[in-house]
């Protein structure tokens, strides 16, 4: 429309012989044999524009344009001369012979070349507008849009409706830290930005909207790890009158549809694995199934070995001893093993025992390891038999509290799998590996506080028949929670919720939340459950993470237009920033420090 007839990147041989008008940015200009070539770029790609000196006015303009000038070109689409075509571009078979060239806006010299690699993140975020012009960022954000739109189309077709929930809501001091917003009208009072629309979406189910979704911002004021942002985007979904299996089936279908329609990838049907099995086999509740390494359980046979590290772990309450067999691992050098030993310490392991399997047939004598002499024959036999050890393997061991073993050996499993060695040895399958993890425990015991906490959140329903264990035997009680995992990342998760006030009360009892406290924090939900709340459940997907996975981006910040740094700052707009004293006074607050920061 208007200033343009076509996008640059979409001019193809279908338009041969036609006159087109294009608008875009000068990606590159080169003079070659008295002719000027301009690679003109817009969001759909680039096209080659040829400026001949036989139109002197146009040619003069062409001589003046520089990189990142915004220009309008009118010209004739013609075939590129033989030998100069470019099969990598959609427009690679043609070029545009320029008739008119107009500078819409010149550009000063950019602080970096758009095709420069290894730019620092500080440079990129400071000059975000130019960074966003790069095809990599254009692609990431356009894919993000396509994914969100595919999600909307799928949900629309399935009767889900988008209902907006408040951004200015109530602080509930649990979970992560809230972002607070002082109220001007109500002195001393604060709104909180939502950590998720959890309670509101449950209220919408009680209100009878039946199927809800929202793609919405959530906020957590946490110390930022590599892949966290103060504000992040959630695909938030809730439905009434569907059970756990129905919900999983529908949203597996949704994610498969989205991958198919945006990337052309069929994820196949998702395996379902219990939390218990995932922990047992992979030491993780979000196992990366691309890594072909599994734990071997050894706790039972290590109770009476002389090697104290193993026997102590095998005998302590909640202790665990496992092996991780690495096929072909005998090639791994001592210094690499030392590196892995340091690595597992990050996860709380005190060391990393190992055995090199030189010759299985020789039994004890075929093994090379500092610990073999302290293991009795039955233990050694179990290690070799259960792990299926072969000549040339390396076996690592973890022995500690279960959590430490799972975290440390689980991380080691990933690290070896993803290493050059792992890829060479076929320990890593290059594929998409989705699964559901189900049957999570309802509660976990907090040793420090000496109390039970909810593994998901206190509105998660127990499995049928587990209700009575909530107070009598919380450790046995499983929940109707489920996580969708892809390539070792949690893509989303949710649960069937409690819809009866009496069951909700039992959970609060188990969590030692007093009726007063429950009323104060969740009174509006408890109240709502009394009025014929329907059976309901749902889940939420992290959109930022999903797009990071789908694009293969290095960082979540590469799939967000204007992200914050890991210090929670916007380098482009310089937010946060100081504000006027008058503004603070209106909000009934003052700064705690004696000296206010200077205006930036």
**254 vs 156: CA distance, rounded Å:** 11
- Judged by CB under 8 A, the number of residues near a second copy is 130
Q: In this chain, which of 74, 93, 183, 519 binds a second copy, going by CB under 8 A?
A: 183
Q: In this chain, which of 15, 58, 77, 192 binds a second copy, going by CB under 8 A?
A: 192
The contact pattern for a second copy, residues 232-251, with x = CB under 8 A and - = no contact, is -x------xxxx--x---x-
**With binding defined as CB under 8 A, does residue 10 bind a second copy?**
no
Footprint (CB under 8 A) of a second copy, residues 473-502? 499-500
Check the annotation: does 595 bind a ligand. no
Contacts of 577 (CB under 8 A, 6+ apart): 599, 600
Contacts of 353 (CB under 8 A, 6+ apart): 307, 309, 310, 369, 370, 371, 396, 397, 399
Check the annotation: does 456 bind a ligand. yes
**456 vs 440: CA distance, rounded Å:** 9
Nearest to residue 235, comparing CAs of 171, 166, 140, 149? 149
**Which window, 276-284, 337-345, 415-423, 568-576, contacts a second copy (CB under 8 A)?**
568-576
**With binding defined as CB under 8 A, does residue 450 bind a second copy?**
no
The contact pattern for a second copy, residues 89-128, with x = CB under 8 A and - = no contact, is ---------------xxxxx-x-----------------x
> What is the arrangement of strands in the sheet containing 536-542, beginning at the earlier edge strand?
161-162, 211-219, 231-240, 536-542, 489-496, 481-486, 434-438, 272-274
Classified as helix, coil or strand, 32 is: strand
**107 vs 69: CA distance, rounded Å:** 5
Footprint (CB under 8 A) of a second copy, residues 527-546? 527-535
Q: In this chain, which of 112, 190, 343, 436 binds a second copy, going by CB under 8 A?
A: 190
Burial of 592 per CB tally in 10 Å (0-12, 13-18, 19+): exposed
The contact pattern for a second copy, residues 277-306, with x = CB under 8 A and - = no contact, is ------------------------------
Q: In this chain, which of 60, 139, 170, 253 binds a second copy, going by CB under 8 A?
A: 170
**393 vs 288: CA distance, rounded Å:** 22
238-259 CB burial, b ≥16 within 10 A, e <16: bbbebebeebbebbbebbbbbb
Rounded alpha-carbon distances, angstroms, from residue 194 to 125, 176, 308, 369: 26, 11, 49, 54
Query: 30 vs 592, which CB is nearer to a second copy?
Result: 592
Q: In this chain, which of 362, 391, 578, 581 binds a second copy, going by CB under 8 A?
A: 578
**Any alpha helices (H) in 241-307, and if so which ranges?**
244-263, 275-282
Query: 38 vs 533, which CB is nearer to a second copy?
Result: 533
Q: In this chain, which of 180, 316, 346, 471 binds a second copy, going by CB under 8 A?
A: 180
**Residue reference for tokens 């938030």:** 236
**162 vs 204: CA distance, rounded Å:** 11
**With binding defined as CB under 8 A, does residue 515 bind a second copy?**
no
The contact pattern for a second copy, residues 15-54, with x = CB under 8 A and - = no contact, is --------xxxx--------------xxx-----------
Check the annotation: does 138 bind a ligand. no
Q: How far is the CB of 261 from a second copy (least distance, A)?
A: 13
**With binding defined as CB under 8 A, does residue 200 bind a second copy?**
yes
Q: Which residues define the annotated binding site for ATP?
A: 220-222, 229, 490, 542-545
């Amino acid at each position: 429309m208007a200033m343009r007839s076509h996008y640059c990147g979409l001019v193809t041989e279908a338009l041969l012989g036609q006159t087109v008008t294009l608008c875009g940015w000068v990606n590159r200009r080169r003079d070659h044999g008295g002719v000027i070539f301009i690679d003109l770029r817009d969001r759909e790609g680039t096209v080659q524009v040829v400026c001949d000196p036989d139109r002197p006015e146009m040619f003069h303009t062409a001589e003046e344009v520089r990189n990142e000038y915004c220009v309008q070109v009118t010209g004739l689409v013609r075939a590129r001369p033989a030998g100069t075509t470019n099969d990598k571009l959609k427009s690679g078979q043609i070029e545009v012979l320029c008739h008119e060239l107009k500078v819409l806006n010149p550009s000063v010299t950019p602080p970096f070349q758009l095709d420069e690699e290894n730019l620092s993140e500080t440079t990129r975020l400071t000059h975000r507008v130019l960074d966003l012009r790069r095809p990599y960022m254009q692609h990431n954000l356009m894919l993000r849009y396509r994914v969100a739109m595919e999600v909307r189309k799928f949900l629309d077709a399935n009767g889900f409706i988008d209902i907006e929930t408040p951004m200015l809501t109530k602080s509930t001091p649990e979970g992560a830290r809230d972002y607070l917003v002082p109220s001007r009208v109500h002195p001393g009072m604060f709104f909180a930005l939502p950590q998720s629309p959890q309670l509101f979406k449950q209220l919408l189910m009680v209100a009878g909207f039946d199927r809800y979704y929202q793609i919405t911002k959530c906020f957590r004021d946490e110390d930022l790890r590599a892949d966290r942002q103060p504000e992040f985007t959630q695909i938030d979904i809730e439905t009434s009158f569907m059970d756990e299996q129905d919900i999983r089936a529908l949203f597996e279908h949704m994610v498969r549809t989205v991958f198919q329609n945006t990337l052309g990838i069929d994820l196949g049907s998702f395996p379902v694995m219990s939390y218990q099995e995932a922990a047992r086999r992979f030491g993780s509740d979000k196992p990366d199934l691309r890594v072909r390494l599994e734990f071997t359980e050894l706790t039972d046979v290590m109770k009476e070995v002389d090697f104290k590290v193993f026997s102590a772990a095998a005998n302590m309450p909640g202790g665990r001893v496992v092996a991780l067999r690495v096929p072909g691992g005998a090639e791994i050098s001592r210094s690499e093993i030392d590196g892995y030993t340091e690595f597992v310490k990050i996860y709380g392991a005190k060391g990393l025992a190992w055995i090199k399997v030189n010759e299985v047939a020789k039994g004890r004598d075929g093994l090379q390891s500092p610990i073999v002499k302290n293991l009795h024959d039955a233990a050694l036999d179990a290690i070799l038999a259960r792990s299926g050890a072969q000549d040339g393997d390396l076996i690592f061991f973890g022995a500690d509290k279960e959590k430490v073993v799972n975290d440390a050996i689980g991380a080691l499993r990933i690290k070896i799998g993803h290493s050059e060695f792992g890829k060479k040895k076929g320990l890593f399958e290059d594929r998409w590996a989705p699964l559901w993890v189900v049957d999570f425990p309802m509660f976990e015991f907090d040793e420090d506080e000496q109390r039970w906490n909810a593994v998901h959140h206190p509105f998660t329903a127990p499995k049928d028949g587990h209700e009575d264990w909530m107070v009598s035997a919380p450790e046995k009680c499983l929940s109707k929670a489920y996580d969708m995992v892809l390539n070792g990342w949690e893509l989303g998760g949710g649960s069937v919720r409690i819809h009866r006030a009496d069951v909700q009360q039992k959970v609060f009892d188990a969590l030692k939340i007093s009726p007063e406290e429950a009323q104060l924090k969740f009174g509006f939900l408890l109240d709502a459950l009394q009025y014929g709340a329907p059976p309901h459940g749902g889940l939420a997907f992290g959109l930022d993470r999903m797009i990071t996975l789908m694009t293969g981006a290095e960082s979540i910040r590469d799939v967000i237009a204007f992200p914050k740094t890991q210090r929670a700052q916007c380098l482009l707009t310089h937010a946060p920033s100081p504000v006027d004293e008058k503004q603070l006074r209106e909000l009934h607050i003052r700064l705690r420090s004696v000296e206010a920061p200077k205006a930036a």
